[in-house]
Amino acid sequence: MPRFHFNRFALMFAVGFTLQGCGDTDTQTSSSVGAFVSSGSYTATLSSAQASMSQKITYTMPSVNGTVVNATAVVLVPKGTAPTGGWPVIAWAHGTTGVADTCAPSLTSDLAGYDAVVATLLNAGYMVVAPDYEGLGVAGLHPYLNLASEGRSLVYAVVAAKKAVPTASTQWMAMGHSQGGHAALGAAQYAAEATGMTYRGTVAFAPASNLATALSSAQQQVLQLSQAGQTQQAIGLLTQNMGFTALVTAGLRQNTTINYSDVFETRSAPLAVLAESVCLPALGQSMAQDIGAFVQQNLSIPSNYPALRSSYASVPAIASFLTMNEPAQVKLSAPVLLLQGAADTTVPQGLTDLLNQTLLSKGSSVTYQTFASADHTGVVSAGLASGVAFAQQRFAAAQ
């Protein structure tokens, strides 16, 4: 059997994502949601140089546990004089980094790889609020792909940022990539909770959606690739599928009694536990190494690796998760721009096609744009000009 390059598999798993630095912050929590708790300095390599103010704020938000918790976000204000009515606000939602405390974008100098995007938004005249999400950068685990948690992370970060920045407008939008696209759609659903603010629209780059279909389709693709002898591709896709499921399971342990052994086979469960302590791509690298070792030692194919239990989707916590966290299940109050790469293998175009159909069926206003050669990472650079133009249109409509 050939020897495999495990780092390559880890990189395939982590397409579009960035390994995060270390650190942890926590402060006493206010009893009211959307409260501005504190602020401190933050410097990003590119975007902070384009800002008149670059800070990390701590604010309060409702938790998946039904309590009020602290969360953190980076707030950047453009240089120059604010327009009449204040700087329009864009809440930027990042892609998957992990669920551990150390996986917060605010603990990096490049906002989890999205520094250039944020710099572009600042130069276009928008104040940017970039939340870490509930559980990232503070005590506890992040409830991964929990629509309400992600959406409210954006909503209450914007509410707190408006209190901290007098020149901020009451007009705001959400924009995000991958997990962040899912979060931006969540923000659209919960935007009415931002008292005194007016929500103008959503830009979602390759958003996570149709979660049950995505997981089951990936399992079938792993089998097909394995049987076709495409071992490297099969290991990469299996690593990705296991990794996302591990993050979901870890996040669910915040408010359910689920165990890793409910979801994963005996060999893979200890690897899934790593999701609580490491960020990407470290999680993917560990999983890919073990899958590769199994293939070599057993002269087998990747689809035979003991990954997820056959009955994992019927575990009550997983079944409920897959049902409750689908975006766009209600009519959204403001227009949506979907941006998708046709070469995306992390969030395949077919999933976003289905999302577009769901949005339309609920009566939401949606514009859908695809890019023939863009993959999961490339869709951001390919579609950013469209996203900025959409934001300009939506904010102009408020005047």
pLDDT tens-digit series, residues 75-121? 999 999 999 999 999 999 999 999 999 999 999 999 999 999 999 99
pLDDT band, very low/low/confident/very high, at 31 (cuts 50, 70, 90) = low
Q: How far apart are CA 275 and CA 251, in angstroms?
A: 9
* Contact (Cβ atoms closer than 8 angstroms) between residue 170 and residue 196: yes
Torsion of CA 52, 394, 156, 75, to 10 degrees: -10
Would the pLDDT of 123 be above 90?
yes
Q: How far apart are CA 19 and CA 45, in angstroms?
A: 16
Calculate mean pLDDT across residues 309-329.
Answer: 96
pLDDT band, very low/low/confident/very high, at 15 (cuts 50, 70, 90) = very low
What letter represents residue 159's amino acid? Answer: V
Rounded to two decimals, what is the model's pTM?
Answer: 0.92
pLDDT of residue 281: 85
Length of the chain counted residue by residue = 399
Q: How far apart are CA 98 and CA 129, in angstroms?
A: 20
Radius of gyration for the chain, computed over Cα atoms and rounded to the nearest angstrom = 20
Cβ atoms < 10 Å from Cβ of 24 = 12
Q: Is the dihedral of CA 153, 212, 247, 350 positive or negative?
A: negative
pLDDT tens-digit series, residues 160-189? 999 999 999 999 999 999 999 999 999 999
Tokens describing residue 108:
């990096």
pLDDT tens-digit series, residues 255-307? 899 999 999 999 999 999 999 999 988 999 999 999 999 999 999 999 999 99
**Phi, psi for 322 (deg, rounded to 5):** -65, -30
pLDDT tens-digit series, residues 342-369? 999 999 999 999 999 999 999 999 999 9
Q: How far apart are CA 301 and CA 200, in angstroms?
A: 49
pLDDT band, very low/low/confident/very high, at 14 (cuts 50, 70, 90) = very low
Tokens describing residue 100:
């551990």
pLDDT of residue 254: 86
First to last CA, the chain: 65
Find, among 188, 106, 116, 107, the residue nearest to 154 by Cα. 188
Would the pLDDT of 8 be above 60?
no
Find, among 147, 150, 148, 116, the residue nearest to 136 by Cα. 150
Q: How far apart are CA 339 and CA 354, in angstroms?
A: 13
Peptide bond before residue 281 is cis, with ω within 30 degrees of 0: yes
